[in-house]
Structure 1
């Protein structure tokens, strides 16, 4: 009954803001046109359709707001008026009362605001679907940002997720395509990420990890966390000063190289995904600024680390090989990778899958980003995947969402950006580091501590194993085996010495080459 009540609320909200009429207007059939006229009869709206859609998503809660945030980056798929209004969802959700915010902060730390901060701004600088942010100054003079979780969020999210799980189960039972797309697993992934966002200590830890990962790249800045002032409901971090990336004219007037900014964004994304396997998965324009300070001029400033994507080594290797194969237009290798990974049935014909992938991807090469829509490419790939029963991998849903965000951001910064040409050298260099001598030396260095612990114990373990397996009647056999074991030990020692000499030789060559 609780789910039914929520469904009724959703239906009533859609009706209240005229979104039922908006949806029916998109259909061209005669029956749909008549239904549209019946539904819209006698109804007049003072607000434009984009405003009504934004207000409806805000009314329906954080999950729907996040859906609108993702849509707002796809200006190639949405009319300009709707995309412009949805962009306001990124950091302009109506704030909750400042007195409530103060009370939550004092409750979290058990101290009055005046004891915590030298000054505190009641007016929030940003208000999003999950939390809002206030500027403050610590007693020692450091300028900070205070992020406060919206009250009562857990109950709202739990209700919507329960409804989504129920709907996902219906889709799987009623549709073969639904089973292939694994909607219940996708909802489970979404559940995990949303609950992670509700724990601000986890967000602070994500920021600290990302800050360490990106420190050597010198392209993006991540705020430092004030750990003694971080709780599950409130976190305090270094205040970052920059210009929102959506304010393009202001950036140009400040002398920012917009084309370089677009290329840097691609580099940051691919570094996080393929080098670290740890990437910012909520990269809409509301979470990105650009520094104008002389010492960090032109660097990105990343904010809001509630949603972070992670990839295993197998995921990274599979994705990188696919990207490189795409860039080289080796569609046969793409087809083989899908079969090897188990994404499609083992009896799938490679040539047929290769032909389908070629038909989707070939028209989009050697074209600037303004003429390419990854959304349309993914849609066509989805249509092709239905024919070959491709299984969607839920762990990659966040990566797909982030890739669309990056495309939307790149389209705003530099429509002439060649996404493929910018990413190809990075991926080829990354693949070179995963195979060959450099990869071997790196892996030997990584495994050396384990070898050092395991090798001295190996003769004793072999001896004990042989002794346990041999009975009293096997004395002669045991002595022969022990003799053979001694020979094996000497051989192992020789191999270890040769291996260490080989590694030391490689290291020495590397050192001399850099002198």
Structure 2
């Protein structure tokens, strides 16, 4: 694949841009399933990497992102006989002693295990998460390989990779995940009536088996597919044909203006076009009546970013893996369920969290000077190879836009950096030498990239910009930090006043005592 790519680059180097794009598109279509085949063969960490890529089509050509979507929840599962042995070995009991029923077909499979519906002897319906015994060893080997490569490619990133390894490997500790879910139910859920987390059942907890309460609804991945298929059906087209047609319409300002009169948010989100397509046809073109109008996608994204904002800033513990397969929506009740909290990243340093909050606000307000200042405060440093400068302002601001500026920020950053999306990784290494970074910053990037991927499936598209979505939560946290400092200052002032008053009242008493002692002696 790589050899053919390099040969193609050389062969078409003299062609106009449009013809080059056509040749590249043909190449991508021909090879689109090869990365998926390799990932499924290697499993482990590579599945996680594939999930991140599939959530962010801006990072790779669309053909590959589409092919990798299967990794979000449809990774090939293990046979039930294998799962039964794991469950019984972990619990030390026969499955029939704990469960009155256990669905043999999993509801989903991922990189480290799979999930089944079951019913306890008590009659309670639950979800059982089962871990593959070999998965932990594969992940450890993958990270060891990555660290060895970094020793030669970029030693400055070794510590970041080690912290990332710690975060990823924590997913194998189901007891820790149970504690994480309990924390979310206690400290986050009460603030969001329309959000719930599975409740772990500690009496059935094991090293490789996690039993939780069942959440109703469909994952966002299935929800997006259902939405697209339902609307495409009314046009007599396949989902892919209809999607291509709407993308074309989105690029036509006249059509966009016409549609926007019916759907004001159309210019902000591709999937709002999908949500409203039936209504648009019905009201303008008198086509088929609407049969499926799902909940508002942008509203869902507001909820998700508000929840993660509280986790990041107030709690200092956030889920770094909120991809579409880990989020469920119950259309009947409007309840959003957040699943899989194995990869919880903790940031105990409140000063760092406050600086990050200020960084997000500055980025949302396009305050370039403040963004550049806080970039360094957050522990980031790089050398811009073309000039040899350390953290040059324009490039630093472009990097910040890439990380937390959403699709518009990514586009702006690539233009400033002079980087082609088709050669993102190679061009970055040619221009940027990272000398300092932190794992929490990297994992926050990952969280936001995952949420952007969710947005593209539910109706927020290019309108979802992480720094804008997190701004409100960041401002509230900054206010809380300032209030804490004011309270601490007031308490300190009160103590000083008390001490001063105590000393001033003590001196007359001491003088009186001295007089009494002297008078007695005389």
Q: TM-score, normalised by structure 1?
A: 0.70
Aligned-residue offset at 1:488: 6.2
Matched residues in 1 for 2:301 and 2:331: separation?
A: 16
Give the structure 2 partner of residue 373 of structure 1.
410
Query: Do the aligned partners of residues 92 and 213 (structure 1) sit closer, same or farther apart at CA in structure 2, a change above 3 Å counting?
Result: same
Matched residues in 2 for 1:364 and 1:117: separation?
A: 45
Query: Do the aligned partners of residues 424 and 492 (structure 1) sit closer, same or farther apart at CA in structure 2, a change above 3 Å counting?
Result: farther
Matched residues in 1 for 2:433 and 2:188: separation?
A: 39
Aligned-residue offset at 1:492: 9.7
Of 195, 198, 206, which aligns to 1:220? 195
The answer on 1:57 being equivalent to 2:47 is no
For each residue in 1:375-411, what CA deviation from the matched residue of structure 2 results, as whole angstroms up to 9, or x when unmatched?
9569949969967966222332211111111222223
Aligned-residue offset at 1:331: 1.9
List runs of 5+ in structure 1 lacking aligned partners: 1-18, 34-44, 172-177, 459-485, 495-515
Give the structure 2 partner of residue 264 of structure 1.
303
For each residue in 1:320-342, what CA deviation from the matched residue of structure 2 results, as whole angstroms up to 9, or x when unmatched?
11112222332222233345556
Of 205, 210, 222, which aligns to 1:235? 210
Matched residues in 2 for 1:493 and 1:234: separation?
A: 67
For each residue in 1:469-492, what CA deviation from the matched residue of structure 2 results, as whole angstroms up to 9, or x when unmatched?
xxxxxxxxxxxxxxxxx9868249
Aligned-residue offset at 1:300: 1.8
SS of the residue aligned with 1:118?
Answer: strand
RMSD: 4.0
For each residue in 1:58-98, what CA deviation from the matched residue of structure 2 results, as whole angstroms up to 9, or x when unmatched?
10121111111100011223333221210101111111121
Asked if structure 2 preserves the Cα contact closer than 8 Å seen for 1:374 and 1:407, the reply is no
Give the structure 2 partner of residue 303 of structure 1.
339
Query: Do the aligned partners of residues 378 and 287 (structure 1) sit closer, same or farther apart at CA in structure 2, a change above 3 Å counting?
Result: farther
Aligned-residue offset at 1:422: 3.7
Matched residues in 2 for 1:93 and 1:29: separation?
A: 36
Give the structure 1 partner of residue 261 of structure 2.
none
Give the structure 2 partner of residue 131 of structure 1.
113
Asked if structure 2 preserves the Cα contact closer than 8 Å seen for 1:375 and 1:404, the reply is no
What count of residue pairs does the alignment treat as equivalent? 412
Of 414, 434, 437, which aligns to 2:460? 414
Of 197, 200, 224, which aligns to 1:248? 224
Give the structure 1 partner of residue 515 of structure 2.
none
Query: Do the aligned partners of residues 352 and 20 (structure 1) sit closer, same or farther apart at CA in structure 2, a change above 3 Å counting?
Result: closer
Give the structure 2 partner of residue 193 of structure 1.
167
Q: TM-score, normalised by structure 2?
A: 0.69
List runs of 5+ in structure 2 lacking aligned partners: 15-26, 228-274, 276-291, 383-387, 420-426, 507-522
Matched residues in 1 for 2:343 and 2:164: separation?
A: 10
Give the structure 1 partner of residue 509 of structure 2.
none
Aligned-residue offset at 1:158: 2.7
Query: Do the aligned partners of residues 254 and 115 (structure 1) sit closer, same or farther apart at CA in structure 2, a change above 3 Å counting?
Result: farther
SS of the residue aligned with 2:57?
Answer: coil
Give the structure 2 partner of residue 434 of structure 1.
481
- Structure with the bigger RCO (C-alpha within 8 Å, sep 6+) is 2
The answer on 1:146 being equivalent to 2:182 is no
Matched residues in 2 for 1:215 and 1:363: separation?
A: 31
SS of the residue aligned with 2:147?
Answer: helix
Aligned pairs (5 A) from 1:61-460: 61-171=43-153, 178-179=154-155, 182-218=156-192, 219-246=194-221, 247-248=223-224, 250=226, 253=292, 255-293=294-332, 297-311=333-347, 312-340=349-377, 343-344=380-381, 353-357=392-396, 371-373=408-410, 376=413, 380=417, 391-412=436-457, 413-415=459-461, 417=463, 419=465, 420-435=467-482, 437=483, 439-441=485-487
Matched residues in 2 for 1:161 and 1:94: separation?
A: 23
Matched residues in 1 for 2:480 and 2:87: separation?
A: 47
For each residue in 1:125-168, what CA deviation from the matched residue of structure 2 results, as whole angstroms up to 9, or x when unmatched?
11111011111001111100111111222332232222222111
